[in-house]
Structure 1
Amino acid sequence: MATAYEAVYIVDATLAEDQVKTTVDKYAAVITKANGSVEDTDIWDPRKLAYEIKGYREGRYIIVNFLGDGACKNELDRIFRISDDVIRHLIVKQDPKADRFPSKTRAAEQERRERDAAARAAAVSLAPQPVTDLGTPSSDEKEAGTEDEATEE
């Protein structure tokens, strides 16, 4: 029976998108070669690391959820340890109740944030604009004032 694992690894933040994709594909191939299956991959934007690791101050986190047996996990761990392109890695066994598809959750959260920001921007644009000049009446007010004076006489 296959066990659910989550692998998190950090690569250099200065890598181009195609280089990151190549790196992700390389480790996905290691999983599939070891009779595992990749369920979900989530690539984060570059982030500042909490402390310097192997001379790096920034890194790009990659989260991979996969199914496999212990040998698959051990092989991936071995490859991570000997690879120069991985700054740090961690592989954990997932709780059955855990979110198996974090990239979909993160995409939905990002979409919600964008909708909220658009709603706030729309609310600001619909808010009444402050009156800047209260001292001079508009031309409509001047005409209305003269008609009122004429009807009083």
Structure 2
Amino acid sequence: MRQRPATPSAVRIIRYRAAPPSGETRGALALRPSAPPPARPPRLRLVRPADGMDAELQAVAEAAVRLVVEILAGTRPATQLSLIAVPAVCRDMTRHQGADRRGGRIVPPRVLSTRLQRPAPAVAETTAVVVVSGRAHALALRLEHTRGRWRCTALETTATG
């Protein structure tokens, strides 16, 4: 019987599951009834970056995503993650480091898209759709700003490495 580790892992691998059947449908095309339109359309507002912090954060997030994907694909050693991640993430990623080889060649990974949001002033979460071993996977990183720099404190992915 497998025992769970004493401390929770900072890296979580999520397995694919079939989607559960959706709720009730009507008609020959099996369309769900649509929700009524909102009473008033939402107001638009101008959002401005705060003193270049968002540009720096975007660059750090994109670099972190590329680094993690390359580690999962086996094209980069997991030790290089220590530049941008806390020790718990580095330790867990060492176990999930991939060796993506087909016929003796390394298949380069790709980042298809990224999204960034800031749920709190010193916290950012980035999600990405990536291709590892020719398959699309989801990747999510939590970045926290401490001691003057952004560090990856948690990571979730569907890529097994």
**Is TM (by shorter chain) over 0.5?**
no
Largest Rg, 1 or 2: 1
Q: Larger relative contact order (C-alpha < 8 A, sep ≥ 6)?
A: 1
- With normalisation by structure 2, the TM-score equals 0.28
